[in-house]
Structure 1
Amino acid sequence: MQNYYIERVTIKGKDREDATVKFTNGLNIISGPSNTGKTSIVTAIDFLYGAKKDAAPFSTDATGYSEVELIIQSTNDKYALTREFDSNSIIVSKITSSGDYVDPEKYNARAGKNPISHFWLQLLGINDDYQIIKNEDFKRQKLTWRTLAPSTLIPQDRVNTSSSVLFPGETTQRTAFLSSLLLLLYGSDFSNSEENETKEHKKIRRNSVINYINSSLSELYENYEVAKSELPEAPSDDFQQIVDGMFAELETIEKQINDALASSKSLIKEIYQKEQYLHETQLLLNRYKQLHYQYQSDIERLALIVDGERLLNDHNEHDASHSCPFCNGELSKPVQTTYIDTARSELHSLLSQLSDLTEESHDTEVELQELMEQLNDLKPRKRSLDASINDELKPKAETLKDRINKIETYRDIKQQLISMEKMQKKLKSDLEKIENEPEDERILYKPKEKFDAEFYKEMTELLDSMLRNMHYKPNEFRNAFFAKDIFDIKINGNLKWTENGHGYTAFINSVVVMAYRHLLYNHAKYTPSVFIIDSPLLGLDERKKQDGDDSMKEGLFKYFMDHQNEGQLIIVENTTNLPALNYDDKQVNQIVFTEDKNNGRYGYLYDIYN
């Protein structure tokens, strides 16, 4: 969450035009040639963070300017902070909606009564007076903004530091900074940390650790013996070579199985087609038989008609009486209709059809016989293939798989045993170390151990991902991680400056600051809302340009633009170093000094020239 941002910085002086730069709450880039006052803006902000009096941004005698004003917009209010160059007092006033300055309050720039640190900490939401641990002996000091500020404001003289860019310049303040950062992240000042243990407590702790290690060793021995008992017989030769050979043999067998299955499938298809055809042929043959019976019946019927008519004609020829039985009158001879010719014609046609049907039935019976013979040949071949697959190839494959599994089980258990042996050795060493530990050894405060594992893991993941996305030395870069011992980045396992020289250090330090900012934004209980980096590309100027530098520059500034939601970011960079990107599309606030009296703004201060 964004608590506040800097709205503008103004340098004032008697009979001088106010020199003002305005900022937005996202990304602000101050660019221009050297010696145009860019860095002085950063110095002016730090001056109101509570820097020493001799760290004023300008000399009054040389410039005529004598005062700096900072306008802060917080979540609910707007404030004006004013400090004269030769004073340790800072006046903080509220600014009303009509622009009036009200309720002025005097703060001390340094320590003492009502330090300005209270104001800045309250902007973060820290209202309590925390006492943080400042050294390894658990000595404490008040939490101050000056302890935290160096990790959020990176001036040009620290941007290429070879130590952690997050640390304050003073080595003695590093423990206090780490304690302050723990408070930002977790909201705890570790006030319950004991400076010293009593001899009895230490003895109890020591015995508890010894008992824990002994218990772990005992459990490890049991697991070791169980794993050892499950270890199959060791291969006589190099097991990897044996496994490779088995895999090759298994591949061959599985190919044979697949080929056999394909052949079996083809046979099944062919058998099915022939059985279907066989069924159709049998149906056709049955139909032919029915037609044969029908034709025979029709022939018999026609023969009966012909025979009947012939007998009737013979009878009529022998019966000569054509007189009436009552009157003996002569009767006319009846006209007889004959069907013999028609029946003979139909009979002839039926006999021809019957002959064709008989021939066709014979051919169909032959075809049926051939189909049955083919099926009798295909089905044994199918059974033989199935038997080969199920009784020979598959059992052989399963046997090979079982042997491979046993060898891999052997390898896994063997590796497990090796790991257990190493663990046993480590636990024994730890046990021996604790048992030989002097009972009066002093307990030291180690703030780096207070950060949870996720802090170091996430910083590592962020740094590695960011450098890859920014195309940092793609032919050389392998990995990056955030090392707990130095609280800084290591690249390819090496310190940043030994791996890269000082030419890339400012770039790498800027990436570290951005990762730190991202982590605080997502996880911290109290989140600083303003980050400032002066000259993140220092050392990558055109005179020392190498292949890939342009991609790195663009990658870094694209990251700046893509993470404006994380709070205000003020970047100071020389014009010649600034990558050519479309800043307007991302609504970047650009403040440009030209060092040209006739074109744009010459520098930060008016009427002051090189």
Structure 2
Amino acid sequence: MNRLTLVHLTFLGVGKPPATVEFSPGLTVIYGASETGKSYIEKSVDYMLGASELKPIPEDKGYSRILLGMRVDDGRLLTLSRGLADSTIDVFNRDLRQFTTAPADATLGFKHSSTSQRNISRYLLKVLGIDGLKILRNSRGEVRLLNFRDLARLSVINDSRMAGERSPVLTTGLPQNETGEKSVLKLLLTGHDEPVGPTAPGTVEKKVGKGQVEILDRLIDDNRGKLTIAANQSELREQLARLQSSLDNATSRSGRLIASRSALVQRRRDLEASDSADQQRASEVRQLLARFALLREQYESDLERLRMVGEAGNLLGYFQTGTCVFCGAEPEHQHPGHHLAETTRLAAAVAAETRKTTELHRDLLSTIEDLEAQEADLNADCARRADQLAAIDSELHALEEQLEPLTTDTSEVIAARSRLEQELAIHAQLEQLEEIKASLPIALPNPPPARPDGIPAADVSDFEQAIHQTLQAWQVPGENRVTYNPTSAEIAVDGRPRGSRGQGMRSIIHAAFAVSLARRNTARGLIHPGFVVLDSPVLTYRQPENREADPELMTSDVVEHFYRDLLDDPPGQVIIIENGTPPATIAERARIYAFDADGSERLGFFPPQDEPPTG
């Protein structure tokens, strides 16, 4: 069978510079900041491959047409051309990069049809050489033609599906499609489509029997009785959109007010911390001043006593006769001038002690003066902070007054939104019940003989081994033992279902599923479109032991081995869209686009609005 390689994605608009990326036939990595159009590239590729709509973004204003260049294994070049809101797709049998007035080689509808060839699904399936293959439609054994969208959903994976809890096999999330989605994987793993055979009665038909219509009517009436709003689904959706817009505006304003309040609260805490430190220091200063005041009184008392001792010594030394007052000697034993010498020595001792005490007293007074100045400064700072705290309290009060009505309004809007969502859920259930009622036959057919429609065990085991080898090559922690349950379509790694794992492991296992399917089928010549587009396969993964690390960043060793494996053992064409910067070691072997990142030449997928058109 043939395979497809994506060559380029180009947006054109009158008077607008082209917005384009070219894809490597091997590995292309598009990374950079959020809101730069990375995921829009994945959505645009999916839209060109037959998705029903492409939700606009502000950056695509003025652009009217999308071109998707493709190369077929047999050498043909194709360009799919589609307007941003068109239901038809033009096909040109050449590489087209600009507006053209030449007629298209084919004009096709985007919806698959089993009765017409004029749609993009049948056209691409015919290019691949697999048009007309059949898969199961439902559990009754009815079959339908393979749709190219069945393959695209397994090859072009957006970020929400990448990390979602739903099995990678169950691509739409609709219960009525599960049988068909499991059958698609069986077709890819085995290469054999489903034979047409007798069909069995459905589950609903078996349960309701002869009273099936009456029971459904009763359920429909019960659900209609639960409706409380006199509006149809379209009107309800419009109301819901308006409420969501109002809620977004209120949330944005509340966020700004809360951020301002948080800043003020932090500032108040800082001022209170500074004030507490100053109050403590002021208390210490006051304690020191009290102690130094006692010491000052002691010094002044000592100086007064020294003065009195000096005066008493002079008086005693000059006027007293008889026994010496200094040494106790009697007059007959005293030397001439004895009193004069002793008086001189006393005066010298008193003077020396007086000088020492005076110096200490003077130093103490200087210290007391410094401490009193510190106390005054601290008191002034505390008074100033008290004014600042009062002003902050006033601002916080004003913010609380602004937040209170917003909180009330937001609660009311959320309650109203919940009521609308409940109404829409009831309408959806009514539609489902009406569809079931319309599909019921008048009589139950005879059950056909049992027929095997599961995937052969050998093919399941082979695919499990392929995923195991991929996870091992990426050095994802664990033994990476993979099991696939064809009944539930659940993939388990090391005994744990993927749906029960964390977001990072769900993403990496989904990526391994898509890459392994492409690698296995390419190597065996089995059915596969030939390309894989993965949005955020490794962004949210982290090693189990790094529990304190940022949960939004993947460890560099797994990232390194992830990209190295895609280069060393290419599963075909792979396009990776990530926020994180890829390893520098792959720069020479892969085509890399950096959007609004360090050293990047492009701010995003679309040129700046003021950039003039080229050509």
TM-score range, shorter chain: 0.5 to 0.7
Deviation at 1:572, TM superposition (A): 0.5
Q: Tell me, which stretches of 5 or more residues in structure 2 are unaligned?
A: 202-444, 542-546, 611-615
CA RMSD of aligned residues (A): 3.5
- Of 53, 73, 86, which aligns to 1:75? 73
| Paired position in structure 1 for 2:432 | none
Change (3 A) 1:443 1:503: farther
Within-5 A mapping of 1:156-555: 156-165=159-168, 167-196=171-200, 442=447, 449-474=453-478, 477=479, 479-498=481-500, 500-523=501-524, 525-540=526-541, 544-545=550-551, 549-555=555-561
Cα pair 1:80 1:92 within 8 Å, conserved: yes
Compared with structure 1, are the counterparts of its residues 550 and 64 closer, same or farther at alpha carbon in structure 2 (3 Å cutoff)?
same
Cα separation, 1, equivalents of 2:551 and 2:110? 46
1:109-120 aligned at under 5 Å gives the runs 109=111, 111=113, 114-120=118-124
Q: CA deviation at 1:558?
A: 1.7
CA distance in 1, matches of 2:514, 2:93: 31
Report if the CA contact (8 A) 1:185-1:523 is conserved: no
* Contact 2:534–2:576 (8 Å) recurs in 1: yes
Kept after mapping to 1: 8 A contact 2:564/2:586: no
Asked whether the equivalents of residues 88 and 107 of structure 2 are also in contact (C-alpha less than 8 Å), the reply is no
2:106 counterpart of 1:137: no
Amino acid in structure 1 at the alignment position of 2:147 = T
What is the Cα deviation at residue 96 of structure 1?
A: 7.3
Q: Residue in 2 aligned with 1:66?
A: 64
Aligned-pair distance for 1:480?
A: 2.8
- Structure 1 contact 459–481 (Cα < 8 Å) conserved: no
| Native 8 Å contact 1:12 1:19 kept in 2 | yes
Paired with 1:88 and 1:446, the residues of 2 have a C-alpha distance of 39
Q: Does the 8 Å CA contact 1:136/1:446 hold for their aligned counterparts?
A: no
TM-score by length of 1: 0.52
Deviations 1:121-165 (A, max 9, x none): 122211336x43210012233321112211111111210121211
Please point out which of 577, 587, 596 is paired with 1:584: 587
Residue identity opposite 2:24 in structure 1: T
Asked if structure 2 preserves the Cα contact closer than 8 Å seen for 1:48 and 1:109, the reply is no
Kept in 1: contact 2:39–2:535 (CA 8 A) = yes
Partner of 2:568 in structure 1? 562
Q: Distance between the aligned counterparts of 1:20 and 1:547, measured in 2?
A: 28
1:44–1:57 contact (8 Å) kept in structure 2: no
Q: Displacement, 1:117?
A: 0.2
Instruction: Show CA shifts across 1:32-79 (max 9, x none).
Output: 111110111111111111111xx3253489621122110111133511
- Secondary structure (helix, strand or coil) at the match of 2:162 reads coil
- Measured against aligned partners, the alpha-carbon deviations of 1:390-415 in whole angstroms (never above 9, x if no partner) come to xxxxxxxxxxxxxxxxxxxxxxxxxx
* TM-superposed deviation, 1:11: 0.9
Q: Distance in 2 between matches of 1:43 and 1:558?
A: 26
Separation of aligned partners in 2, 1:547 and 1:572: 15
Aligned pair in 2 of structure 1 residues 171, 569: CA closer, same or farther (>3 Å)?
A: farther
Task: Pick closer, same or farther for the CA change 1:565–1:462 going to 2, 3 Å.
Answer: closer
Distance across 2 between alignment mates of 1:542 and 1:87 = 49
CA distance, structure 2, for counterparts of residue 168 and residue 518 of structure 1 = 23
Structure 2 distance, partners of 1:546, 1:87, is 37
For the residue of structure 2 that corresponds to 1:126, the secondary structure is coil
Distance across 1 between alignment mates of 2:57 and 2:97: 33
Instruction: Say which SS state the counterpart of residue 592 (structure 1) adopts.
Output: strand
Q: Does 1:106 align with 2:105?
A: no
Change (3 A) 1:134 1:478: closer
SS at match of 2:17: coil
Q: Deviations over 1:235-290 (max 9, x none)?
A: xxxxxxxxxxxxxxxxxxxxxxxxxxxxxxxxxxxxxxxxxxxxxxxxxxxxxxxx
C-alpha distance in 1, partners of 2:591/2:130? 32
For 2:136 and 2:550, how far apart are their aligned partners in 1?
A: 44
- The corresponding residue for 2:307 is none
Q: Which has the larger radius of gyration?
A: 1
Give the match for residue 86 of structure 1: 85
**1:600 Cα deviation from its structure 2 partner:** 0.5
Contact preservation (8 Å) 2:8, 2:21: yes
**TM-score scaled by length of structure 2:** 0.52
> Which residue does 1:148 correspond to in 2?
151
In 1, the alpha carbon distance for the partners of 2:450 and 2:557 equals: 43
Alignment of 1:116-131 (within 5 A): 116-128=120-132, 131=134
- Identify the residue that residue 317 of structure 1 maps to in structure 2: none
Match of residue 431 from structure 1: none
2:69 maps to amino acid:
I
Q: What is the alpha-carbon distance in structure 2 between the residues aligned to residue 593 and residue 451 of structure 1?
A: 42
- Separation in 2, partners of 1:98, 1:41: 16
Q: 8 Å contact 1:184–1:524 — kept in the other structure?
A: no
Structure 2 CA distance for aligned equivalents of residues 111 and 532 of structure 1: 25
User: SS where residue 29 of structure 1 aligns?
Assistant: strand
Matched-pair contact (CA < 8 Å) for 1:137–1:444 = no
- How far 1:181 moved relative to its partner? 3.5
Task: Give the 3 Å change call, closer, same or farther, for CA 462–503 of structure 1 in structure 2.
Answer: same
Aligned-partner residue type, residue 107 of structure 1: G
Q: 1:190 Cα shift?
A: 2.2
Matched, 1:15 2:35: no
Instruction: Determine what percentage of the aligned residue pairs are the same residue.
Output: 22
Query: Bigger shift: 538-547 or 482-491?
Result: 538-547
Shift of 1:479: 2.9
Distance in 1 (CA, whole Å) between partners of 2:557 and 2:597 is: 30
Question: 1:502·1:539 contact (CA, 8 Å) conserved in 2?
Answer: yes
> Hey, what does 2:394 align to over in structure 1?
none
Judged with a 3 Å threshold, the aligned counterparts in structure 2 of structure 1 residues 596 and 189 are, in CA distance, closer, same or farther, namely closer
Following superposition, the deviation at residue 494 of structure 1 comes to 1.6
| Residue 605 of structure 1 pairs with residue 602 of structure 2 | no
Q: Is the 8 A contact 2:5 2:70 kept in 1?
A: yes
1:503 deviates by 3.0
Residues 408-428 of structure 1: per-residue CA shift (max 9 Å, x gap): xxxxxxxxxxxxxxxxxxxxx
* Shift in Å, 1:446: 8.1
1:125–1:526 contact (8 Å) kept in structure 2: no
Taking the aligned partners of 1:458 and 1:125, their CA distance within structure 2 comes to 25
Distance 1:156 1:96, change over 3 A: closer
SS of equivalent to 1:34:
coil
By how many angstroms is 1:97 displaced? Answer: 11
Residue 135 of structure 1 contacts residue 445 of structure 1 at CA under 8 Å; is this kept in 2?
Answer: no
> Which stretch of the first structure deviates more once superposed, 547-556 or 507-516?
547-556
SS at match of 1:95: coil
Contact 1:554 1:581 in 2 (8 A): no
Q: What is the Cα deviation at residue 546 of structure 1?
A: 9.7
- SS of 1:159's partner is helix
Deviation at 1:493, TM superposition (A): 1.3
**Given residue 34 of structure 2, which amino acid in structure 1 is its aligned partner?**
S
Q: Write the distance in 2 (CA, Å) between the matches of 1:169 and 1:563.
A: 32
How far 1:183 sits from its partner (Å)? 3.5
Contact 1:7 1:71 in 2 (8 A): yes
CA contact (8 A) 2:150 2:184 kept: yes
Deviations 1:78-134 (A, max 9, x none): 1111111111010111117999876243334454871210122122211336x4321
